[in-house]
Amino acid sequence: MELQLLLDNLTNPALLFFFLGLMAVQLKSDLEIPPTSSKFISLYLLFSIGFKGGQELSHSHLDMEIMWSLLFGVLLALVVPLYTFFILKRKLGVWNAGAIAAAYGSVSAVTFVTSVSFLEMQQIEFGGHMVAVMALMEAPSIIVGVLLLNLFNKEAKGQVSFSHILKHALTNGSVMLIIGSLIIGYLANDAQAQGIEPFTTDIFKGFLAVFLLDMGIVSGKKLASFLQHGWFSLAFAIVVPLINGCIVAVISQGVTATEGNRFLFSILAASASYIAVPAAMKLAAPQANPSLYLPMALAITFPLNITLGMPLYLSIIHMT
């Protein structure tokens, strides 16, 4: 790993605000972001990155690289939950394995947004279609997780209709907003987009810093209870994302030669959903333990990716 790249990332103000949130919890401070404000900021970040992605996509030609990128993203969302389910099932049972596998096959929109900010800081270009790739990776892993639950657990059969879960996955608020913003950004002309540029671009990093402060507070609160579950879940939340990210950093060169796109593929493969999937699994796998799969994604994998993961994956891309 490039040491300077790691140091630059660790001194990123947005990331330091995340650590401030963690520290506030450890010091038992009453610092908090109101839930309504936190929700607004998360919606703003999804809207902004989706709209800018649509603008970038409108300036791109729909070629085979874009088509292969979309297919590659969906393939990752199908393969990761399949192989992780069988690793998890032996230690944590079918219910927890299905929920965790779905979470790690899906993606974290906030990790993606943070990674985009990292690329901009490094002045590395990426394709606007990568926003579409991220949006397409949300639903497939949820579908795979539900299928695995129905195949390997008789109790799961008929509990919640598959069509209901599919509809929930596709109409999830974060998925709807990111896809809708992408389409709107694609349809808007340059003059129209410039009119809201101060909102979509100029204040983006400030909102990201406040949101990561909130994520630090939430992660700190969930970390203590998670550590009571033992070493296996902790090891999984660290090792599997790093393996996924490192492998995809190498093989993604067969899909795209663009450094920024390869980096985002690595992040998408390494991240885990802690918004869309937990909401879906609450319906599909009520017996799964949310105090297990939610902190794994949010309190362990998320900070791992935005601290060590990003400079590690980029370093591997530089070497290959």
168: pLDDT confidence band, cut at 50, 70 and 90? Answer: low
3-class secondary-structure state, position 273: coil
List the domains of the chain with CATH numbers: 3-319 (1.20.1530.20)
What is the model's pLDDT at position 211?
87
Read off the pTM: 0.84
For residues 157-183, give the mean pLDDT: 71
Written as six digits, the tokens of 103 are: 């979470």
Residue 27 has pLDDT above 90, yes or no: yes
pLDDT in tens, 132-163: 898 888 778 888 888 888 788 766 555 556 67
pLDDT in tens, 107-122: 988 899 899 989 988 9
Residue 180 has pLDDT above 60, yes or no: yes
Portion of the chain with pLDDT greater than 70, in percent:
94
For the chain, give the mean pLDDT. 87
- Minimum mean pLDDT among 7-16, 183-192, 308-317: which range? 7-16
Helices (H) and strands (E) in the chain, counts: 18, 0
What is the model's pLDDT at position 20?
94
Q: CB under 8 Å to 240, separation ≥6 — which residues?
A: 84, 87, 104
pLDDT in tens, 283-293: 777 888 887 88
- Round to whole Å and give the CA distance between 32 and 24: 9
- Minimum mean pLDDT among 169-173, 237-241, 283-287: which range? 169-173
What is the model's pLDDT at position 157?
55
* Per-residue three-class SS string for 196-247: CHHHHHHCHHHHHHHHHHHHHHHHHHHHHHHHHHCHHHHHHHHHHHHHHHHH
- Round to whole Å and give the CA distance between 298 and 43: 18
- Contact assessment for residue 57 and residue 129, using Cβ atoms and an 8 Å cutoff: yes
Q: CB under 8 Å to 218, separation ≥6 — which residues?
A: 21, 298
